[in-house]
Structure 1
Amino acid sequence: MAKKRKSNIKVGITCKCQDAAVARPPSMLRKVQCKKCGVFFRTNRVKDGPDLCFNCRTGK
């Protein structure tokens, strides 16, 4: 049988002592509850609109 070679590639390793280059903006998503079926979901729609989940909006 052939021997498996050990990979020298290191993926996703970063130094933890450095800060991120750019600060992340706060999330625009808000957590709401569907007024029709009661499921919790995240949306970026304006607060004045109806808070309906995708299934209730499309009539599924």
Structure 2
Amino acid sequence: MKFGPRKPSLKKSLKARTTGKAKRAARKALIPGYGEKGTGWIKDPKKAAYNKIYRKTTFSLWDLFK
């Protein structure tokens, strides 16, 4: 498990910012429960637990500037 700062990725950051609102709306219309909080625990509890711990033990370098 990682502890401390995460390595920033410009490519992933840009991809997250440019994913379209229409694309998310289409998925929400087709997939019931898409984008709702807590559905990860139902789909894959092991991964959801890992992600919860990861988000609590690491931080972004951009958080230091806030």
Q: Aligning the two structures, in what range does the TM-score lie when normalised by the shorter sequence?
A: under 0.3
Query: TM-score scaled by structure 1?
Result: 0.21
Query: TM-score scaled by structure 2?
Result: 0.20
More strand by share: 1
More helix by share: 2
Q: Which protein has the larger Cα radius of gyration, Structure 1 or Structure 2? A: 1
Which structure is richer in relative contact order (CA contacts within 8 A, separation 6 or more)?
Answer: 2
